[in-house]
Amino acid sequence: MAQILSPLPGTFYRSAAPDKPPYKADGDAVDAGDVIGLIEVMKSFHEVRAETAGANIRFLVDNEEPVMAGAPLADLD
């Protein structure tokens, strides 16, 4: 199992905009380099990418939840 960690502190978003579908849903397969969400810091958005591939992503934080740098965002099998 691998974890995807927050690269910086901010607010985690699972989609690019409120009217857009999430980048990934719980249970989706993930390839290395896939965007799984965004971190917003002072009105600037930074993509969060998976560093490794996995068969089943499980998010550990909710959409629009504040996170700290290094906090686990999701688990990968």
Determine the 3-state secondary structure of 34 from DSSP. Answer: coil
Tell me the C-alpha distance between 34 and 23, whole Å. 9
Which one, of 66, 50, 61, lies nearest residue 2 by Cα?
50
pLDDT digits (tens, 9 = 90+) for 8-20: 999 999 999 999 9
Q: Of 3.30.310.80, 2.40.50.100, 3.30.70.20, 1.10.10.10, which CATH number belongs to 2-76? A: 2.40.50.100
pTM above 0.85, yes or no: yes
Determine the 3-state secondary structure of 35 from DSSP. Answer: strand
Inter-residue contact 28 to 14 (CB < 8 Å): no
**Residue 59 confidence (pLDDT):** 98
